[in-house]
Amino acid sequence: MNRLSSLDRLLWELVEIPSINPSLECKDASLTGEEKIAQYLEGNANSSRLEYKRMKVLPGRENLVIRLKPSGNIKNKVMLTPHMDVVPATPNAFVPKIKNGCLFGRGACDTKGSIASFFHAFLRLSKEINRPKNTEIIFVGLVDEEFGQAGSRALAQKGPKADLAIAGEPTNLKVVSAHKGNLWIRLATIGKSAHGSTPQHGSNAINKMSPILEALTIEYPKLLLERKHPLLGPPTVNIGKIQGGSQPNVVPDSCQIDIDRRTLPGETDESVKKEIKKLFRELKINCPEFSRTRTVHCPPLDTDPTLPMVQTFLKASNRRKTIGVPYFTDASPISMGGTPALVFGPGNIAQAHSKNEWVSLEEVEKAEQSIFRFLSNLE
């Protein structure tokens, strides 16, 4: 531990602090909540004499907002916005280990590697004599990314707004300007129950769902392939859950499926619903009942890569262009609030949520350097 760099030590200590999202299933309440992470970051901010405050989001859960003010008038604002929560894990997952240049532990990749690199660069800049004269830099530790993104939604609603926000996620140090949206839809068919020995006296809801499943797995994907986004490719659909009937000797009177539809910029929840209904009509399939299983809006992200601030960050991160990713992030709610947003951070998304989650310490260091270069070169 004594031989670790200040950056690696910061990451180690962050991983040691359990911060499982309390909205997710966890039997040990002592492992849940972002509060201890917020207190830890506050302590570091206080030691550096930085101004900080809390933003109420959910009962007992608050965003942490830390400001680094410029010496002159504020003309621009930049926000660093990693999330503090992680997905469930056993207690031993919060005992960090370092092996072959990688740090293992829950949240190492998603997304305490980003917290460490962003916050370390932020603190390092606060100690510099020559720092931006007219740009305020704001570090925001967000709650609830892993469930309903309540933290980023509160930030979008309450402010502050900025000229650019960088959401921390494992992108392998690539700069993400676009990602797909996420729409969860439940389709339900209704039948009539009867004894399994006399199925003619009932109406089988599972049988009614059969042509719907076929349409969504065969015909609908073909339709989706006809449209593509230059960074995101085509939209996708996945049937993730099916439920129907009670036991083999009863004709089921209900059946429902939950689908995950990943959307592209320009698509809306309503346009997707209309598209699916139109497909059913064309295939002469009786239309099932539609409902949404996620109450919050999750539209795609599509930040203009030609924005001057985006180009400045690309240069600082030694990248020539931005990319797109299929997963959803806090960047979307933040952008809905009027702040252009990017996604960036150390680690590979394949490691996120995995049993043996890890992040390359070299990538964490490179991410810190990229963030520091970007912040240092602001006006």
Rg of the chain over Cα atoms, rounded to whole angstroms, equals 24
How much is the pLDDT for 2? 62
368 and 272, same structural domain?
no
Q: Where a domain ends, among 243, 258, 292?
A: 292
Same-domain check for residues 87 and 115: yes
CB 106 within 8 A of CB 11: no
Question: Are residues 203 and 134 part of one domain?
Answer: no
Q: Are 34 and 112 members of one domain?
A: yes
CA 303 to CA 288: how far, in whole Å?
A: 36
90 with 113, same domain: the answer is yes
Question: How does DSSP classify residue 313?
Answer: H
276 shares its domain with 308: no
Provide the 3-class DSSP secondary structure of residue 73.
Answer: coil
Give domain status of residue 44, yes or no. Answer: yes
* pLDDT of 295 above 90: no
Tell me the pLDDT of the chain averaged across its residues.
97
Split into its structural domains, the chain has a count of: 2
What pLDDT score was predicted for residue 12? 98
Same domain, 273 and 167: no
Domain presence at residue 1: no
Q: Is the pLDDT of residue 246 over 90?
A: yes
Q: Are residues 319 and 245 in the same domain?
A: no
User: Residue 271: what are its φ and ψ, rounded to 5°?
Assistant: -65, -35
- On whether residue 251 sits in a domain, the answer given is yes
Q: What is the pLDDT of residues 223-235, one digit of tens each?
A: 999 999 999 999 9
pTM of the predicted model as reported, rounded to 2 decimal places: 0.94
Q: What's the pLDDT at 215?
A: 98
pLDDT at 207: 98
Here the tokens at position 1 are 């531990």
Please tell me whether residues 207 and 135 are part of one structural domain. Answer: no
Residue 158 lies in a domain: yes
Q: Final residue of a domain: which of 272, 292, 312?
A: 292
- pLDDT at 3 exceeding the cut of 90: no
CATH number for position 109:
3.40.630.10
Q: Do 228 and 263 fall within a single domain?
A: yes
288 within some domain: yes
240 in any annotated domain: yes
Mean pLDDT of 75-99: 98
What pLDDT is attached to residue 116?
98
- Which residue among 292, 314, 340 closes a domain? 292
pLDDT digits (tens, 9 = 90+) for 45-74: 999 999 999 999 999 999 999 999 998 999
Q: Is residue 23 part of a domain?
A: yes
pLDDT at 69: 95
What residue numbers bound the domain in which 115 lies? Answer: 6-179+300-376
Q: How many CB atoms lie within 10 A of CB 281?
A: 11
CATH code, 225: 3.30.70.360
Distances (CA, A) of 237 to 184, 214, 220, 223, 305: 10, 13, 8, 11, 27
Q: 260 and 243 in one domain?
A: yes
Instruction: Tell me whether residue 54 is in a domain.
Output: yes
| 120 shares its domain with 267 | no
Interval 306-323: pLDDT, tens: 999 999 999 999 999 999
> Strands, DSSP E only, in the chain?
51-58, 61-68, 76-80, 97-99, 102-104, 135-141, 164-168, 176-179, 181-190, 236-244, 254-263, 289-292, 301-302, 323-325, 341-344, 358-360
Q: What is the mean pLDDT of residues 324-342?
A: 97
